[in-house]
Chain A
Amino acid sequence: MKSTPKSTMQAGALAMLILRVLRSGPLHGYAIAQRIHVLSKEVLEVEEGSLYPALQKILLKGWASAEWGISETNRKVRFYRLTAAGRKQLEAELEDYDRLTEAIKAVLRTA
């Protein structure tokens, strides 16, 4: 089973991934984990134990709002929706991330 132990995935990185998958529309918790799993070509596995603390933090920060909706299996479930603040946060983090990876790549190329 190819799963990244949660300890290796930083809480900050997980938050960024969550914000990123929420950009295309509201999702519930399970769907968020699924989407990350699929989009990462099944490399990243997000477990409950790390997903929900991250979601709570995002809610507290005001980067996403939660509302009750009906799931595809016809159950009441909470959907997370990106807020304007969350969008801004995502932009900032992506920019930071790009700069960092560019810098690392540059070092790797030349050193």
Chain B
Amino acid sequence: MGEMWRRVWYLLNRRRMQESLREEMEFHREMAERAGAERRMFGNADALGEQAREAWGWTWIDRLAQDIRFGVRTLMRSPGFTLAAVLVLAVGIGVNVAAFGVFNMFVLKPLPVRDPDTLVRLQRSAPGSFASNVAYPSIEFYRNHAKTLSAVLASTDREVVLENESKLVRTRFVTGNFFRELGAETGIGRAIDAQRDERKGAEPVVMLSHTFWEERYGSDPAVVGSVVHLNHKAATVIGVAPRNFSGLGLPREPAFWVPLVQQPYFVEGSTVLTDTSLGGMVDLWARLRKGVSPKAAEQELTALTNDLRRQSPDSVWKDERIVSSPGGYLQTVRKDDVPMISLVAVLVLLILTVACSNLGGLLLARGVTRGHEISIRFALGASRGRIVRQLFTESLLLAAMSAVAGMGLGYVCLKAFLAKVDAAPWLDPAPDWRVAAFAGGVGLVAAIVFGLAPALQLTAKRKSGTRARQVLVMAQIAASCVLLIVAGLLVRALRYAMSTDPGYDYEHVLVVDPDLAVHGYSAAAAKSYLDVVQARLRQLPGVTSVGLTSMAPLGHKNVTAMVGYRFSIYMSRVEPGFFETMGIARLSGRDVQRGDTDEVVVSESLTRQMWPGEAPLGKQFLLEPSDPTSRKFTVMGVVANARTMSMHDPDATEMYQMSDDASLPHMVVLVRTQGRPEDIAAGARAIAAGVDAGLFPNVRLLSDAFHDEVGTVEKGATIASLMGGSAVLLAAIGLVGLVAYAVSQKTKEIAIRLALGAKKTHVIAAMLQQFVGPVALGLIAGAGLAAAASQLLRRILYGVSGLDPLSYAGAIGLLAAIAALAAIWPARKALRIDPMQVLRHE
């Protein structure tokens, strides 16, 4: 350690130490001269000093500084080139930084809460079943008995009516320890507190989110202490959450934070605190005790779940386990996300590839004008390694500047993106050390890719500029080709989603969700409520039919998907009239009927998957194919495919059952209209609310939900088109540059040929021939890569055929045209040369 320290000390005092050494050696020399009768050979004093200093181990720093100084001077001498190079590369790096920035923000960066690493999210899992949330009574049980947890946090979302506000506002009901555990008690006023707000008879209170406080109350601090009405219930505003409070990465910031134990006060009939059925579910997080691993906590909680099952067998599944995932992060990567993430990674890396090959071409073109300088330095005795190092240092400088610029570009893109999607204010796109390290890494890789090869080539004894150019052309064409094809496929997928029928008539359907389960409705009460509402809705002018389903189409509700088959089965409970209302055609058999228990109606796609080529009516299948004692269903009817659950799944494997007592309070009313459903929305809401004043029904258009769903694809397609477009632009610039350069190199040859009477067309053809092969190879390679990538795409998007001829032909045609134009433009210039002038000039 001492030695290391001394080395560093030498580095820090380099000037002084160098001076001492010089003096010392001078003294030595004088003494030697004085003593030496014979005249001794002294070496170059500077060289000797440098030799001695080498022992300190820092000479590389001096050399590096020298290289950098030289590199900076060289780059400053050609500012045009430097600017172009930095711009091109900054785009390539910026796209990557922006993509990584999103990943960083969602996956790597912890949420701005205290100790994010000891937070876990807890969810229920059993063979064939999964629930993202847990019943409140179970949560209380865990809180009272778990020894591996130091705190249990729960929250649940609701929309409520706020006085003088036409839209429902989002409210998050949280346990009293929520703010303290997350370290967010320092807002304005006070935070929700377990001692004060969870005791019996506590006064109803609400907290405002910072954004809502700004938007609705104009940041007025006097709002603290005032009374607001949620669902017509009075409550005191106790405070405002801090600006950067993220909650626990909830998808959208609520307007209000309210103690969970007070939910029955605000939501009339709410049974959330006692309900153990799937309807009354709450999101659960916990804080691990010091030194406890998530696995240990899972084990303890699973044991506790077994105890719970003994107490109330109905509320716990067979073999239920509690599984944990990191809770202090916005998003954890699941296996399903991997294809999407890899696809984006490949696309952004392709843009970098195009930028790099573009820059490689620029450097190569410039290298020839530097050939003179390089040969002088060779002549002066510089080694090839030394010159390559110098050239590479220049590339590194370019890469470093581009990385900084790219980081700025990435930040601007992310900021614009977050503003566009109206993200919560605590989502901070500012680059942190991870982003900086990533940008640096990408820059380094880019420098190696675009810098090292040309450097090696320029210093090679035997120069083969043509080969290098051909490789660069090929790489650019191939990468742009992939980008264009993928962009084309994405755009086509969007077209498909927008134009093809999802299987139901979303344009004329209104969804009325009274949320009966939340208000503690029993099956009987729900039935009578739904009967009255349906009858009244039918009388509204323009209404042609009314139906019921437990799963609102495109509602992102809990989807129970059966596993064990090669595919998922989306299950929903419906009542007769559902198919008619949704406009889903019945193909064979009958509709669901009152009294059905194991008789089901399935989609055509399900029958095709289950019994290909066979008649499906009367067929039977098991809920869990591996368990012969599991429930057996009989197919009574087949309906057309309808993607009501997941637009992303091209196979609408759906199964419809008659509603039962348990599902009635979860039912959503669907209303089909002749005209625009907007026109009857207000009337429908009035009817649904009129039957029970304690309800605050949510009425929405199915077309809105549909467009939201499609919007995700639209965003993806826009981004893909932008990426494809920028790749094509970069490639075009690069190709024009390379070809123009190749032609300019051969100006003399052209002139001679023309002077000797060669036909102009022949000369040009000969010039361009060297690029035909690489362009063709690049197109083939690009199409092949895209075909591989489209397999990935198929898993993410619906309606994308792996080999969409239009996308492929379009991309190949466009690139071929660009390559041809890129070649013709400089070639025409070459033809205008006056041969005599060129030759005389030589």
Binding site for B on A (CB under 8 A): 1, 28-30, 33-34, 47-49, 51-57, 59-62, 71, 73, 75-78
User: What B residues does A76 contact at CB under 8 A?
Assistant: 23
Stretch at the interface among B24-32, B122-130, B135-143: B24-32
Interface string of B787-804 (1 = CB under 8 A from A): 000000000000000000
Is the beta-carbon distance between B29 and A60 smaller than 8 angstroms? no
CA distance in complex: A48, B49 (Å) = 9
**A49→B51 contact, CB < 8 A:** yes
Contact of B38 among A1, A51, A52, A78 (CB under 8 A): A1
Q: Which residues of A contact B38 (CB under 8 A)?
A: 1
Q: Which of B6, B35, B48, B57 contacts A52 (CB 8 A)?
A: B48
CB atoms of B48 and A77 under 8 A apart: no
Q: Does A60 lie within 8 Å of B28, measured CB to CB?
A: no
> What residues on A are CB-neighbors of B51 within 8 Å?
49, 52-53
Which residues of B approach A to under 8 Å, CB–CB? 2-3, 6-7, 10, 20-21, 23-25, 27-29, 31-32, 35, 38, 42-43, 48-49, 51-57
Nearest CB in chain B: distance from A81 CB, A? 15
User: Shortest CB–CB separation between residue A27 and chain B, in angstroms?
Assistant: 12
Closest chain A residue to B54, Cβ basis:
A53
Of all A-B residue pairs in the complex, the 3 with the closest CB atoms, nearest first, are A52-B52, A56-B55, A30-B31
Q: Is the CB of B27 within 8 A of A60?
A: no
12 chain-A/chain-B pairs, Cβ below 8 angstroms = A29-B25, A33-B28, A47-B43, A48-B43, A49-B48, A56-B52, A60-B10, A60-B57, A62-B2, A62-B3, A77-B23, A77-B27
Q: A34-B35, A56-B53 are in contact. List 9 more A-B contacts (CB 8 A).
A: A1-B38, A28-B24, A29-B25, A30-B28, A48-B42, A53-B51, A54-B55, A60-B10, A62-B6
The reply to whether A48 and B28 contact each other, CB–CB distance below 8 Å, is yes
Bound state CA distance, A7 and B315, in angstroms?
86
Cβ contact of A61, chosen from B3, B32, B35, cutoff 8 A:
B3
Q: Which residues of B contact A48 (CB under 8 A)?
A: 25, 28-29, 42-43, 48
CA distance A28 to B3 in the complex (A): 22
Cβ-defined partner of A71 (8 Å) among B20, B27, B55: B27
Closest CB of chain B to A62's CB: distance in Å? 5
> By the criterion CB–CB under 8 Å, are B21 and A52 in contact?
yes
Interface centre among A54, A56, A62, A77 (most CB of B within 10 A): A56
Chain B minimum-CB-distance residue to A1: B38
Question: Do the beta carbons of B6 and A30 come within 8 Å of each other?
Answer: no
By a CB distance below 8 angstroms, the chain B residues around A29 are 24-25, 27-28
- CB contacts (< 8 Å) of A49 on chain B: these are 43, 48, 51
Chain A residues positioned under 8 Å from B42 (CB to CB): 48
With both beta carbons as reference points, the residue of chain A lying nearest to B4 in the complex is identified as A60
Known: A61-B3, A62-B6. A52 touches B25 (CB 8 A): yes
Give the complex CA separation of A29 and B28 in angstroms.
7
A48 and B24 alpha carbons, distance in the complex (Å):
10
Asked whether B7 lies within 8 Å of A60 as measured between CB atoms, the reply is yes
Q: Using Cβ atoms and an 8 Å threshold, which residues of chain A touch B32?
A: 30
A30 near B48 with CB under 8 A, answer: no
From residue B113, how far is it (CB to closest CB) to chain A in Å? 49
On chain A, the residues within 8 Å of B35 by CB distance are 34
Using CB atoms, name the residue of chain A closest to B41: A47
CB distance from B35 to the nearest CB of A (A): 8
Q: Which residues of A contact B28 (CB under 8 A)?
A: 29-30, 33, 48, 51
**Complex CA distance for A42 and B390, rounded to whole angstroms:** 46
